[in-house]
Amino acid sequence: MNDARPEADRTPTSNPVLKRALIWGGVLAGVILVVGAILGYVLAGVPGLLGALVGTLMAVVFMGITAASILAANRFASSDLFVGAFFGIVLGGWILKFIVFIVLVVVLRDADWLNTTALFLSLVAGVLASLAVDVIVVAKSRLPYVSDVELPKAPTED
Return the pLDDT at 70. Answer: 86
User: Are the beta carbons of 126 and 32 closer than 8 angstroms?
Assistant: yes
Return the pLDDT at 36. Answer: 94
Return the pLDDT at 99. Answer: 94
Return the pLDDT at 156. Answer: 83
Q: Is 92 exposed, middle or buried (0-12, 13-18, 19+ CB in 10 A)?
A: middle
- Domain ranges in the chain are 15-108
Q: Is 49 exposed, middle or buried (0-12, 13-18, 19+ CB in 10 A)?
A: buried
Return the pLDDT at 55. Answer: 93
Show contacts of 75-79: CB within 8 Å, 24+ apart. 77/10, 77/11, 77/12, 78/7, 78/10
Q: What angle do CA 104, 110, 114 make, to 5 degrees?
A: 80
Return the pLDDT at 62. Answer: 87
Return the pLDDT at 39. Answer: 95
Distance of CA 137 to the CA centre of its chain: 12
- Rounded mean pLDDT for each run of 10 residues along the chain, 158 residues in total: 52 79 90 94 95 93 86 82 88 91 90 92 91 86 68 79
